[in-house]
Amino acid sequence: MTSCTLADTRRLAPAGLALMSALSLTACQQEASRPPSLPTMVQVEAVSLSDYAPTVRLTGEIRAKVESDLSFRVAGRVSERLVDVGDHVAADQILATLDPQQQQATVTAAEAAVQAARAVLREATSTYERQKALLIQGFTTKRDHDQAQEAYRTAQAALDTANAQLGTARDHLSDTVLRAGVAGVITARKAETGQVVQTAQTVYSIAQDGPRDAAFQVHESIFIHEPAEPSVALTLLSDPTVRAKGRVRQISPTVDPATGTVRVKVGIENPPAAMTLGAAVVGEGHFQPRRLVTVPFGALSSENGRPAVWTVDPRTRAVALKPIDIEGYETGRVIVRQGLEPGEVVVTAGTQFLRPRQVVAFAEGASL
């Protein structure tokens, strides 16, 4: 085995240093011979203003212009229910009845009271007529005459009261029969046979025949835009060939706390027969155009959770990330409310390779 002494190691040291120097020189020469790194190639575009006229499309349903709740005017037990949801009814059609025993007993008692009041009136009338004749002949006193007259007037008033009570009792008896009152379609039923209902408790809901509305639930942010025209185009969802025009008739003054939307009713002009109650329709409206900046969808990036775009300084070609506010989205483009000015250069492709102040190169055919 060959061994190396300390003296031998010392003689080898200058040779090792020379070798390391040669290797370092070679590495430096290779570093110097590499080509310089090229700027990142990106697609850019100079932004400009364009007309933005958004269109809103919402799904709603056909409703009657007038909807009513029907109820009995008296309390009682439902003895009969004659119609159901979806039935079309005439104005005088009977919908339900109550057990009339209590009301019938009241009518009978009122009729007896009328008969009694008539008998009292006949007797009082006879006495009064006799007193008048005797007073003329001088065979009675003025006091007796006045008492007979007072009894007659009291009996007459009692008969009037009894007749009024009889009329009220008969009205209550007739109120045990619930009639539609108007022609329309039953949309809800809220009572069953045998159920005891209270006065004015809703038993049926009816959609009256006549004008129709298209009802929509609309987010309140939509009202900041000015419509281009007052009319709304309506299309039947199940059959797009069925179309109609309408105008906004009513906007609810309150926001639905469950959905955060506002109810809007559009009155339909000459609704087609196919647009029946409850049918789904699509409403389309247009807003006034506005001049806003638009950028391709590929330019959209983000900064701290906010939308942003990469802008390029045309002089230095250095990029910077600029936050923007978005007005809306359309196919292939983003509508910018604020954050960009016309003429600014934005990166539309290659944004995933960028960092702030990085120098870029424009791809051939850049739109500037």
Decide: 201 and 72 in contact? Cβ < 8 Å. yes
How do the domains of the chain map onto residue ranges?
40-52+291-361, 67-98+176-209, 100-175, 211-289
CATH code reported for the domain at 100-175: 1.10.287
67-98+176-209: CATH topology is OB fold (Dihydrolipoamide Acetyltransferase, E2P) (2.40.50)
User: DSSP assignment of 34-55, as one string?
Assistant: SPPPPPEEEEEEE--EEEE--E
40-52+291-361: CATH topology is 2.40.420
Decide: 249 and 265 in contact? Cβ < 8 Å. yes
Q: What is the pLDDT of residue 3?
A: 43
Digit-by-digit pLDDT tens for the chain (368 residues) are: 444 443 443 443 454 444 455 445 454 454 444 555 567 788 888 888 888 888 889 999 999 999 999 999 999 999 999 999 999 999 999 999 999 999 999 999 999 999 999 999 999 999 999 999 998 888 889 999 999 999 999 999 999 999 999 999 999 999 999 999 999 999 999 999 999 999 999 999 999 998 999 999 998 878 777 788 888 999 999 999 999 999 999 999 888 888 889 999 999 999 998 999 999 999 998 888 888 888 888 888 888 889 999 899 888 888 889 899 888 888 888 888 888 888 889 988 888 878 888 888 887 655 55
Q: Does domain 211-289 have CATH number 2.40.30.170?
A: yes
Q: What is the pLDDT of residue 2?
A: 40
Q: What is the pLDDT of residue 364?
A: 67
State phi, psi for 248 to the nearest 5 degrees: -60, 120
Tell me the whole-structure pTM to 2 decimals.
0.63
**What is the identity of the amino acid at 45?**
E
DSSP code for 352: G
Q: What is the pLDDT of residue 36?
A: 54
Check for a shared fold between 40-52+291-361 and 100-175. no
